[in-house]
């Protein structure tokens, strides 16, 4: 995809447990984004502390980590034109009082560095050819 980028999206436990995963993925796909990698994971405390390191001094940090460990998380990478920006807009409000807050999305393309925390390099592929042809080839 020309001018496309990738972003990290996580469906939080309160989105996974009531079986909203398919609906959430469908929402992104209907906007033209491609699902590149997906996995269901019970995130460890260490992974979550690293993931939310920028919030470590906030009073809600421990509760956030505990909440994210309360059930499985669906971690995924999406690709598409301006997917990083759309990934932040599409989930809606991030304040739990204003929404269900069921999705975490990287805050920018640069923030998609979270991908390396959640996925091992060997599961990541060069998707430029895969998306066009359905198979990987040497370009």
The position carrying tokens 């995963």 is: 21
Q: H helices within 20-111, ranges in order? A: 21-30, 45-51, 61-68, 83-89
At 101, give phi and psi (nearest 5°): 50, 55
Of 136, 134, 118, 124, the closest CA to residue 39 belongs to 118
Active-site residue (options: 12, 51, 88, 104):
104
- Euclidean distance between CA atoms 14 and 100, whole angstroms: 8
Of 118, 105, 119, the closest CA to residue 12 belongs to 105
104 is an active site residue? yes
CA distances to 25, 34, 81, 87 from 31, rounded to whole Å, are 10, 9, 10, 10
Question: Among all residues, which ones are annotated catalytic?
Answer: 104
């Amino acid at each position: 995809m020309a001018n496309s980028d990738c972003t990290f999206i996580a469906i939080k436990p309160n989105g996974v447990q009531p079986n909203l995963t398919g609906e959430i993925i469908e929402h992104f796909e209907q906007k033209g984004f491609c699902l590149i990698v997906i996995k269901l994971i019970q995130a460890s405390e260490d992974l979550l502390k690293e993931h939310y390191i920028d919030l470590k001094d906030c009073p809600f940090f421990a509760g956030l980590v505990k909440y994210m460990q309360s059930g499985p998380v669906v971690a995924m990478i999406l690709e598409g034109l301006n997917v990083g920006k759309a990934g932040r807009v599409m989930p809606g409000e991030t304040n739990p009082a204003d929404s269900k807050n069921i999705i975490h999305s990287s805050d920018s393309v640069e923030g998609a560095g979270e991908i390396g925390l959640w996925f091992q390099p060997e599961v990541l592929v060069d998707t430029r050819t895969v998306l066009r042809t359905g198979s990987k080839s040497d370009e």
